[in-house]
Structure formats: C-alpha cells, structure tokens
Structure 1
Amino acid sequence: MEAKLMLIKKGAEANLYLEPFTKVLHQAGGGKVIVKTRIPKRYRIKDLDLRLRESRTALEAGLLSDAKRAGVPTPIVYEVDKVGMRIVMEFIEGAQVKQVLDRLGPAEMRKVCRIIGKQIAKLHRAGIIHGDLTTSNMILKSDGKVYFVDFGLGGHDSSTEERGVDLHLLKRALQSTHFRIATRAYAAVISGYRAEFGKGAEEIINRAKEIESRGRYVAKEERAWH
C-alpha cells in the first residue's frame, strides 16, 4: 500500500504521505489525510526494531491526542496501525511557520510567537515534551491558529530539565532558521510561555539558559531512544 501513496516528505524516522480520505479510510469521508509510516532500521535486530517502531507509533498517536486535550491544536488521529507502523491523521491546511515567520510584520510576528509560547506551556503543564520544537513542525492556519505536528520524538516528562531542553531546542531552531528575528521571536515565545505556565515558569526558563550555557545538545537519535 505504501508504494501507491503520494510521498511528500522522507524523514530519518518516518515518511509522510498525502492522500484523499476516501482512498485511505472509507467513502464517507472528505478531504485529505496524512499517513505517517515509521520506517524500519536495518542496523537494528529485527524483533527490537519492530518493538521500537510499534511503541513509538502508539506513543506519538497518544501524544497527539493528549496535546489536543491539553488545549493545543493538533491533527485529529483517525487510525493507528501498529502492524503497518502508521498513523492516519487529519491534513492541516495552512503554511509552515518556518515559511512565513520572517515575512510577518513585527506585531504579527510577536503575536504568533506568543501563541507558540503559550502552547508549549500547555504541553509542559500536561507533562508532555514535544522533543523536536522547530518552526517546521508548526502550521499557521488562516484563522490564526498554530497547529503543532510531528510528536515522533516526544514523550511524557514533567522534569525541569526536559522542559528546558524543549525551549532550548526551539531557541536553536529560531537562531538557525530565522536568525534576523530570532532574539525578538524567542522573547515573544518566552513571554507567552511565562503568561500561560504561571508559577514555576521561571525555573524552566532559567534551566533553558543553563542548558545553553553548558553547551548541551541532545541529538535526535539520542532523543528517539529516550
């Protein structure tokens, strides 16, 4: 089935396909869906690889649903296939924040970044770590909502350290991709985070600064095994 789908993104851990709802699920639906298929790793022992892909597939689907319950816009999960190692989810019509953030006016940029900060705080308050907070994994809709996608490296963790790593990774992503506005953008993210998280926010914000100062970088592969 995978070969018949339209590949739109090939990743290290999974491939994304875009297809009509009726082709993947059933005739009663409309619109399009995203099919995320976690790919096998040949360097792993086969049984271990199967268990890891199955657990990560189930975990990601759960995180998407948990995030939505926490008040963070995420795609609706329609189907979790732990045999085919795939998640069928809602296709979010919009633009990657990565593609538009630099083109926004100063006030609109700050507004979007404050929304992002508030949504990260909602995740963290719910004990959810995204694990790959970049503007590539955020979709801005025409109504102003920002959807978070790709929780493939996420998990459940309420530690100050992992929350700090989440913020640190976003700051690095902003500096790398949006270097001209990175300082202002991150300041707006932190403003939104502080306002939404409330008591305890400063400890996490300060931990992110500490992580930056000690030069800690958590590679994706390491986080994938976490």
Structure 2
Amino acid sequence: MAYRRGRSTLEEGRVIGVGAEAVLILCTWLGLKAVKKIRIRKSYRHKVLDEDLRRERTILEARLMYEARRLGVPSPTLYDVDLDNYCIVMEYIEGPKLREVMSKLRTKELRAILSKLGYAVGILHANGIVHGDLTTSNVILKEGIPFLIDYGLGSFSYDTEERAIDLHILLRSLESTHYSLSKKAFKMFLKGYSNALGREILFNVLKKVKEIRRRGRYVKERA
C-alpha cells in the first residue's frame, strides 16, 4: 500500500463528525461518495511531536483498514492517504449505526447481525488486529451486513488482553445503550467470534474480560 504526500483530488463537502482525534468530512472522491478523516492538532503537544504522532496514527489506521478489507472483514474501502495533511479518504458506508436500530430488530435479525459481527472481529483477532473502539456506534448496517468503521484507536497485536479489551468495550457499549438486550446480544456475538477463533481462545479471552471488569469495579469501589 502506497502513501501519497500532497493534496487529495476530491470535492469538499460538509462536516459530519467532530471527535477528540479527528474531523470527518463528507466529500466526493473521483465521483465516489466518500469520507475524509483529518487528524487534528493537539495544542498541548510539542509541534514536532504532534506532527509525528498524527502521521504515525494516520499510517497505522490506513494499514489496519486495508488489512481488514484484505481479510474480507466488512470495512470501508481505503481511497487515499495524504500524509502531509494527516488525512485518510475512505468509502462512505450508507446505513444506520447498530446502536440506532438494535432495539427495533427482531431476534432472528439481531442474531444474524451479531453473529456476523462476532465472526468479523474474530477474523481480525486471529490475524493480529484489534479494533480499539468496538462500540455499537462504530458498526454500520448496510443491507444486513455489519461494517466496522473507525480503526483510529486500533493496533496490530495478538495479545489476549488487547483482544479482551475489544470485547469489554463492546459489552460496556451494549450495557450502556441496550441494557435489557446486552446479555443476549453479547452471547450472539460470541457465537460468531468462537466460530472464527475456536473455543479455547474464546475461553482465554473471556477469562481476561472478567479480570478487566473486576479491576474496573475495584477502582470504582476505591474511588
């Protein structure tokens, strides 16, 4: 995968999201509907350090997205990487976020979607990729297929704890937005995840998830 330095050939559009790390702009790239993600400067960081970190994170996110697509995991297609401007141009995935529609889905539909999501995450983990921000807001449904978006906090790792953090984040996301469905939904996800990684790895990852949750409760109790 090559990285380009200089201006991207695209038509600018409107801002559709502003986060702590980046701004998302809906745009057109060579006639295709796209999203331009620009990593923003952190004023509290030294200028040179900030530029280096933004460049590194831009490269890493592009690599993660590219590898995810190569593995067959539903993710946005990478269109362009502009290192001079710390930005990535990617496919715009049309559809609602999982968070927005979970409570409206029938059990059969929810099972199919979460099983597919679990399998996709399992494929990532099996190939040394962790998402880093696995929430229901970072899953977009397109024609019944869950697409993973925003690899901005992801990394390359086979570490069991890193895998467990992904699952812990997902479980917390389910509990905070759809508590009544959270246990059932997580089990549906785990079925697909197990199909990709196997029961032994699933057991080890879930064991670590429990440890992480215990640590979180301990910190709250001590606070």
Same fold (TM over 0.5): yes
Give the Cα–Cα distance (whole angstroms) in 2 for the partners of residues 71 and 216 of structure 1.
37
Q: Any residues of structure 2 matched to 1:9-88 within 5 Å, and which?
A: 9-21=17-29, 29-88=30-89
Paired amino acid for 1:8: I
What's the counterpart of residue 152 of structure 1?
A: 152
SS at match of 1:158: coil
What's the counterpart of residue 214 of structure 2?
A: 213
The gaps in structure 1 that reach 5 residues or longer are: 22-28, 218-226
Deviation at 1:204, TM superposition (A): 0.9
Q: Any residues of structure 2 matched to 1:197-212 within 5 Å, and which?
A: 197-198=197-198, 199-212=200-213
Paired amino acid for 1:195: N
> CA 1:135 to 1:30, structure 2 compared with 1: closer, same or farther past 3 Å?
same
Q: Any residues of structure 2 matched to 1:160-199 within 5 Å, and which?
A: 160-198=160-198, 199=200
Q: Which moved more, 1:163-172 or 1:192-201?
A: 192-201
Deviation at 1:152, TM superposition (A): 0.4
What's the counterpart of residue 141 of structure 2?
A: 140
Give the Cα–Cα distance (whole angstroms) in 1 for the partners of residues 67 and 85 of structure 2.
23
Give the Cα–Cα distance (whole angstroms) in 1 for the partners of residues 13 and 40 of structure 2.
15
SS at match of 1:203: helix
Q: Which moved more, 1:188-197 or 1:35-44?
A: 188-197
Runs of 4+ in 1 over 4 A off after TM superposition: none
Deviation at 1:216, TM superposition (A): 7.4
Alpha carbons 1:194, 1:202 under 8 Å: kept: no
Paired amino acid for 1:115: K
Alpha carbons 2:13, 2:28 under 8 Å: kept: no
What's the counterpart of residue 224 of structure 1?
A: none
Give the Cα–Cα distance (whole angstroms) in 2 for the partners of residues 92 and 109 of structure 1.
20
> CA 1:194 to 1:216, structure 2 compared with 1: closer, same or farther past 3 Å?
farther
Query: Would you say how many aligned residue pairs link Structure 1 and Structure 2?
Result: 208
Deviation at 1:113, TM superposition (A): 1.0
CA offsets per residue over residues 15-56 of structure 1, 9 Å max, x none? 1000122xxxxxxx3331100000000000000000000000
SS at match of 1:95: coil
The gaps in structure 2 that reach 5 residues or longer are: 1-6, 219-223
SS at match of 2:37: strand
CA offsets per residue over residues 66-96 of structure 1, 9 Å max, x none? 1112221111111100100000011111111
Paired amino acid for 2:103: D
The CA RMSD measured in Å over matched residues stands at 1.7
Paired amino acid for 1:148: L
- Percent of residue pairs identical: 44
What's the counterpart of residue 104 of structure 1?
A: 105
Alpha carbons 1:53, 1:85 under 8 Å: kept: yes
Paired amino acid for 1:214: R
Give the Cα–Cα distance (whole angstroms) in 2 for the partners of residues 51 and 183 of structure 1.
41
Give the Cα–Cα distance (whole angstroms) in 2 for the partners of residues 47 and 180 of structure 1.
47
Paired amino acid for 1:159: D
CA offsets per residue over residues 186-222 of structure 1, 9 Å max, x none? 11111111122114221112211221122179xxxxx
Give the Cα–Cα distance (whole angstroms) in 2 for the partners of residues 146 and 130 of structure 1.
14
Give the Cα–Cα distance (whole angstroms) in 1 for the partners of residues 116 and 99 of structure 2.
15
Q: Any residues of structure 2 matched to 1:111-122 within 5 Å, and which?
A: 111-122=112-123
